[in-house]
Structure 1
């Protein structure tokens, strides 16, 4: 006879793992127990060795659908007699062992949805219905082990019937920490200036929405502002109140069939839309698109998601509209509002009505956003449904604890704990005070639930003035940890390397801006990456930025500067006064100021940014003249190019500059202007310009790969969300015989910079 002491690591708490263990052990007549041990699951079984081995194998094959086993450790002891008379599920222990973590929030399962739609079920129409296979996890946990008394559900004692299910190992609600019913669970309330007393607040909210009002709706991980997506007047009103004049709104529809009436859905996109993670998926609008134009103005695509909570499902049960805007309830750059008092106070004047509930949101978690480039999925934002599931970096480190704080705007942070790298939910713009507080609070909380008490290293961006850099310096002192400052585009490349499982490659890092080793603003780089090092062997041509970051907001400044290296400033000043004056907030005076800045080299930065070139092309073609949200001009350029039907060719030129290959972007903009003045269609020029820029970057990458002797080339940075650019680069690289890699399980944009920082810090540590 043998006793096996088994420790299971992975996503094994809050997913029905213990009742599965219980059933498998009883089926094989094994004796012992299972319990949560801190942040892993501990199993002790006694019986014949071969039967125990079968039990362990069954555990791997028959684990719950949303669980994930990353490691199983087994300690064997030969025994003379059994110590247990049965198999039982024991209460949790608070002792820490191993490195498991709480799973992400999961969309309502079919079984719970069936209960909610069954008039004979006691959970009929109850929007907080959940079981071990679905419902909130990360957003309700306060500490580990993951038991009800350590979540925000502790404020809702179970009724007798729910308690009976909760205690029954054969029930799918056994130790489902979010389980509840109308008798014992959270309640919805509807407000305007005061409480509105109705029998069904959700049914009344649906009626209000269909009448053209805006409702603030508290959900699982945050609050949405909701309105009828087919009502142009209401959507415009929401934009005005929220201060988002053009940023596209995400929408929710009840089912795939409805989505297909206004958007194009591939089979791969449909699978992701219907997955238990339920992200927003960016889809192309169809020719029959009939939602309000202001939902996604001047864009060829739209972000859509399916219902993922009971509140959403019940809303569409009552609603009469095919889609609702579901946008995060926050001012631009700030964290979502989650507390009832703040929802009712801070959203007054934005929402007309407020649908709230009395369950506390412990961890904010924005909706995840994905997009397909051909057949390849890319994360734009990795958050709800995925956070805090870790990346496996055990090949890099088995015992180091590292914190990485990301860049400045689209921030996530990363915690590397004994080979598992946990990326936070989406944090946002850390130039905003409330967001910096959110970052610090979320960091401390994730450290607590992953069991980190000591820190070996802290990583951050190279930029000296970022808040995240200053926080990294403080944390380094607090934990007596080494500090590693990582160049922005090197971090992009390191995240891509982890995602793709490569050690050495050439990376095209193309985005808006990243602080370079030379103190200038990089953003169109060809890097040769190996081990924890890189060499900058190519880039776009350096261009002057009169007014610095103002060029990112008003790209006509950048266009003036780029053309100024070819035309005389006298000619340019007259041209811009005639054709582009409206793109300068202060008109002719500002054009004159930009000219003087360039002449005297005052307040003029230097950049190789791909984003600034795309912005300049969009401005030159009168597609977009001001950035009101991140990536706006480039996104509108892509949408214009999508409509092109005639092929134009813009030859590009690659030169040598300071020992590296350089793509001549002045030459590119000159040819764009020539084609525009020749009367070519704007959409065709837009497509040709994107194509030329893409091929130029790809050619430099191929030249560098040939020089250094690698056969792998990758693309990272926000520019690689652009489907046309991504596919053009991919086709060029593969046509030249090289392997092309892209982000699939991480963000091409800044959302995965913290992952790359953690990787590089770990290697250097």
Structure 2
């Protein structure tokens, strides 16, 4: 006879793991107990050794669907007699051990939906229905172990019937910490200026939405602003109130068939839409697209998600519209609003009505956003449904604890704890004060629930003026830990390498901006990355940025500068006054100022950014003249190019500059202007410019890979969300006999920079 002491690490709390252990142990007639031990599950069983081994095997294969086992440690003791007479589920211990973590929030399961739609069920129409297979997790937990009294559900003591389910190991609501019912659970309320007393706030909210009003809806991890997505007048009113003139709005529809009435849905996209994670999926608009034009103005695609909470499902039960706008109720880059008083105060004048509930949101968590490039999925934002599930970095063979703070704008941070790397939910723009507070609070929280009490190293961006850099310096002093400053695109490439478990690659890093180790703004780079090092083997041609960051908002400045590398400035000034004058906020005077800046080299930065080139092409073709949201000009350029049915060709030129390959982007813009003046269709020039830029980057990468002797080439950075650019580069690289890799579990954009920083810091440490 043997006693086995088993420690299970992974996503094993709040997912029905203990009742599964209980049932399996009884099936094998084993004696002992199971309990949460800090943040892992501890199992003690007594019986024959072979029986216990079969029990462990079944535990791996028959685990609950939401759970994930990353490690099982087993200690064996030979015994003469049993110490237990049965198998039981014991209460949690506060003793800390291991590195398990709370699972992400998941969509309402089919069983709970059935309860909500069954008139005979006591949870009929109750929007907070949940069980061990679904519902909120990360957004409600305050601390570990994950038990109801350590979540915001502790505000709602269970009624007698719910308590019976909660204590019954055979019930799917056994220790489902978010379980409740209309008697004991959270309640919804509807407001305008004052509370509106109605029998069913959800039914009334649906009616209000269908009548053309804007409703703020408090959900699982934050607040949405919702309106009828078919009502152009209402959508425009929402834009005016939010101050988002063109930024695309995400929408929600009740089912896949409805989505297919206005968008093209592939089999892979449908699978992700219907998954328990329920992200927003960027889909191409169909010929039958009949939502309001202002939902996604100037774009060929639209962000759609299916209902993931009971509130959403019940809302659409009453709805008469095919889709509602469901956009985050906050200013771009700022944290989601989660407190009822703040919702009513901050959104007054934006929303007409407010549908709120009395369950506290412990952790904000924005919707995740994904997009497909061909058949490959790419994360644009990795948050709800995925956070805080860790990346397994145990192959680094490091027991170090590392905190990585990310970049500046689309920030997430990372906590590396003994081989598991936890990325935070989407944080946002840390140039905003509220976002910096959110970052600091979220970091303290994630360190607490992962048991990260000591920090061995801190990592951040190379840029000296980022808030995240300053915070990293403070943490380095606080923990007496070394600080590693990591070049932005090196971190991009390393995060990509993590996705595939590779140690070296040539990476095309293409985005808007990243601080280079020469103090200039990089963004179109060919990097050879190996171990914790990199070499810059290629780039786009350096271009001047008159007015610095003003070029990112008003790309006509950038276009003037690029063309100024060829045309006489007298001619260029007259051309711009005639054709592009309205693109400068201060008209002709500003054009004259830009000329003087270039002549005297005053307030002129240097950039190799791919984003600035795409912006300039969009401006040259009169597709987009001002950036009102991140990536706007490049996104509208892609949408224009999508309509092309011609294969115009723009030859590209690669030179050598300071020992690296350089793609001549002045030549590219000159040819764009020539084709425009020759009367070629704008959409065809747009497609040709994207293709030329892509081929140039791909050829430089292939040359670099041949030089260093690697067969792996990767693509990272926000430009790789562009499907046409991504696939053009992929096809070229693979035709040349190299393996091409793109992000699959991490973000191509800045959302995974912190992951790369953590890995590089671990290697340097």
TM-score (norm 2): 1.00
Q: CA deviation at 1:461?
A: 0.2
Question: What is the alpha-carbon distance in structure 1 between the residues aligned to residue 529 and residue 72 of structure 2?
Answer: 34
Task: Show structure 2 runs of 5+ residues with no match.
Answer: none
Q: CA deviation at 1:399?
A: 1.0
Give the aligned partner of residue 210 of structure 1: 210
Aligned to 1:468, the other structure's residue is in SS state: helix
Q: CA deviation at 1:2?
A: 0.2
Question: What is the alpha-carbon distance in structure 1 between the residues aligned to residue 332 and residue 517 of structure 2?
Answer: 30
CA contact (8 A) 2:714 2:742 kept: yes
Question: Counterparts in 2 of 1:353-752, with a 5 A limit?
Answer: 353-752=353-752
Q: CA deviation at 1:500?
A: 1.5
Question: What is the alpha-carbon distance in structure 1 between the residues aligned to residue 613 and residue 702 of structure 2?
Answer: 21
CA contact (8 A) 1:638 1:686 kept: yes
Structure 1 stretch displaced more, 741-750 or 390-399: 390-399
TM-score (norm 1): 1.00
Question: What is the alpha-carbon distance in structure 1 between the residues aligned to residue 243 and residue 366 of structure 2?
Answer: 19
Question: What is the alpha-carbon distance in structure 2 between the residues aligned to residue 234 and residue 58 of structure 1?
Answer: 54
Q: CA deviation at 1:501?
A: 1.3
Question: What is the alpha-carbon distance in structure 1 between the residues aligned to residue 485 and residue 510 of structure 2?
Answer: 20
CA contact (8 A) 1:397 1:762 kept: no
Q: CA deviation at 1:397?
A: 3.5
Question: What is the alpha-carbon distance in structure 1 between the residues aligned to residue 447 and residue 203 of structure 2?
Answer: 40
Question: What is the alpha-carbon distance in structure 1 between the residues aligned to residue 62 and residue 366 of structure 2?
Answer: 32
Question: What is the alpha-carbon distance in structure 2 between the residues aligned to residue 583 and residue 400 of structure 1?
Answer: 52
Q: CA deviation at 1:395?
A: 0.8
CA displacement 1:729-761 (0-9 Å, x = unmatched): 000000000000000000000000000000000
Aligned-residue CA RMSD in angstroms? 0.3
Give the aligned partner of residue 43 of structure 1: 43
Question: What is the alpha-carbon distance in structure 2 between the residues aligned to residue 510 and residue 666 of structure 1?
Answer: 17
Question: What is the alpha-carbon distance in structure 2 between the residues aligned to residue 392 and residue 500 of structure 1?
Answer: 12
Question: What is the alpha-carbon distance in structure 1 between the residues aligned to residue 558 and residue 28 of structure 2?
Answer: 72
Question: What is the alpha-carbon distance in structure 2 between the residues aligned to residue 398 and residue 661 of structure 1?
Answer: 36
Give the aligned partner of residue 325 of structure 1: 325
CA contact (8 A) 1:263 1:286 kept: yes
Q: CA deviation at 1:153?
A: 0.1
CA contact (8 A) 1:500 1:742 kept: no
- The reply to whether residue 341 of structure 1 matches residue 328 of structure 2 is no
Question: What is the alpha-carbon distance in structure 2 between the residues aligned to residue 385 and residue 723 of structure 1?
Answer: 24
Question: What is the alpha-carbon distance in structure 1 between the residues aligned to residue 332 and residue 265 of structure 2?
Answer: 29
Q: CA deviation at 1:415?
A: 0.3
Aligned to 1:395, the other structure's residue is in SS state: helix
Question: What is the alpha-carbon distance in structure 2 between the residues aligned to residue 522 and residue 313 of structure 1?
Answer: 45
Give the aligned partner of residue 250 of structure 1: 250
Q: CA deviation at 1:333?
A: 1.7
Q: CA deviation at 1:398?
A: 3.5
Question: What is the alpha-carbon distance in structure 2 between the residues aligned to residue 393 and residue 332 of structure 1?
Answer: 32
Give the aligned partner of residue 57 of structure 2: 57
Q: CA deviation at 1:332?
A: 1.8
Once superposed, which parts of structure 1, at least 4 consecutive aligned residues long, lie more than 3 Å away? none
Q: CA deviation at 1:400?
A: 0.3
Give the aligned partner of residue 196 of structure 2: 196
Question: What is the alpha-carbon distance in structure 1 between the residues aligned to residue 97 and residue 124 of structure 2?
Answer: 41
Give the aligned partner of residue 82 of structure 1: 82
Give the aligned partner of residue 156 of structure 2: 156
Task: Show structure 1 runs of 5+ residues with no match.
Answer: none
CA contact (8 A) 1:506 1:526 kept: yes
Q: CA deviation at 1:57?
A: 0.3
Question: What is the alpha-carbon distance in structure 2 between the residues aligned to residue 243 and residue 78 of structure 1?
Answer: 70
- The reply to whether residue 142 of structure 1 matches residue 142 of structure 2 is yes
Question: What is the alpha-carbon distance in structure 2 between the residues aligned to residue 584 and residue 333 of structure 1?
Answer: 25
- The reply to whether residue 23 of structure 1 matches residue 23 of structure 2 is yes
CA displacement 1:273-304 (0-9 Å, x = unmatched): 00000000000000000000000000000000
Give the aligned partner of residue 132 of structure 1: 132
Aligned to 2:394, the other structure's residue is in SS state: coil
Give the aligned partner of residue 66 of structure 1: 66
Question: What is the alpha-carbon distance in structure 2 between the residues aligned to residue 118 and residue 239 of structure 1?
Answer: 38
Aligned to 1:505, the other structure's residue is in SS state: strand
Question: What is the alpha-carbon distance in structure 2 between the residues aligned to residue 398 and residue 659 of structure 1?
Answer: 36
Give the aligned partner of residue 756 of structure 1: 756
Aligned to 1:178, the other structure's residue is in SS state: coil
Aligned residues: 765
CA contact (8 A) 1:227 1:325 kept: yes
Aligned to 2:235, the other structure's residue is in SS state: helix
CA contact (8 A) 2:398 2:762 kept: no
Question: What is the alpha-carbon distance in structure 1 between the residues aligned to residue 89 and residue 578 of structure 2?
Answer: 79
Q: CA deviation at 1:331?
A: 1.2
Question: What is the alpha-carbon distance in structure 2 between the residues aligned to residue 331 and residue 454 of structure 1?
Answer: 35
Give the aligned partner of residue 32 of structure 1: 32
CA contact (8 A) 2:223 2:328 kept: yes
Aligned to 2:440, the other structure's residue is in SS state: helix
Give the aligned partner of residue 9 of structure 2: 9
Question: What is the alpha-carbon distance in structure 2 between the residues aligned to residue 363 and residue 357 of structure 1?
Answer: 16
Q: CA deviation at 1:170?
A: 0.2
CA contact (8 A) 2:541 2:608 kept: yes
Aligned to 2:140, the other structure's residue is in SS state: coil
- The reply to whether residue 116 of structure 1 matches residue 113 of structure 2 is no
Give the aligned partner of residue 104 of structure 2: 104
Question: What is the alpha-carbon distance in structure 2 between the residues aligned to residue 267 and residue 395 of structure 1?
Answer: 34
Question: What is the alpha-carbon distance in structure 2 between the residues aligned to residue 537 and residue 448 of structure 1?
Answer: 41
Q: CA deviation at 1:533?
A: 0.3
Question: What is the alpha-carbon distance in structure 1 between the residues aligned to residue 754 and residue 504 of structure 2?
Answer: 20
Question: What is the alpha-carbon distance in structure 2 between the residues aligned to residue 101 and residue 225 of structure 1?
Answer: 31
CA displacement 1:545-564 (0-9 Å, x = unmatched): 00000000000000000000
CA contact (8 A) 1:33 1:88 kept: yes
Question: What is the alpha-carbon distance in structure 1 between the residues aligned to residue 263 and residue 322 of structure 2?
Answer: 12
Question: What is the alpha-carbon distance in structure 2 between the residues aligned to residue 712 and residue 331 of structure 1?
Answer: 40
CA displacement 1:75-110 (0-9 Å, x = unmatched): 000000000000000000011101000000010000
Aligned to 2:183, the other structure's residue is in SS state: coil
CA contact (8 A) 1:212 1:234 kept: yes
Aligned to 2:403, the other structure's residue is in SS state: strand
